[in-house]
Amino acid sequence: MAVTLVFLGKLADLAGVSDKQLEGPLDWQGLCDELQGPLADAVKQDRTRIAVNGQVLADKTSLSAVDGDEVALLPPVSGG
């Protein structure tokens, strides 16, 4: 098993894929180490949120995911 990263919206465009499998466990530093370039920059922005198994984290740096978990990377929402 693995941790599934799900990229949504603009983040999927930057990643070039909608999802990716990573070896667990996964924490904030491990996530930052895995991501590169503009995608890493976007995920580190204050307005980008992270959800683990559908629960949005109040503090994304508290990320703690294990094998079988789904980690969704949520871009800032713009309204209209």
What are the sequence ranges of the domains in the chain? 3-74
Angle at 42 between CA 20 and CA 28, to 5 degrees: 60
Reported as a single tens digit per residue, the pLDDT across 3-18 is 999 999 999 999 999 9
Question: Which spans in 1-80 are helix H?
Answer: 10-15, 28-34, 37-44
Supply the DSSP symbol for 23: P
User: What is the torsion angle, in degrees rounded to the nearest 10, for the CA atoms of residue 77, residue 28, residue 37 and residue 24?
Assistant: -110
pLDDT at 72 over 90: yes
State pLDDT tens for residues 35-68: 999 999 999 999 999 999 999 999 999 999 999 9
Whether domain 3-74 has CATH 3.30.2290.10: the reply is no
Contact, 54 vs 9, CB < 8 A? no
Confidence (pLDDT) at 76: 87
CA atoms within 13 A on the CB side of 31: 28
User: pTM of this prediction?
Assistant: 0.93
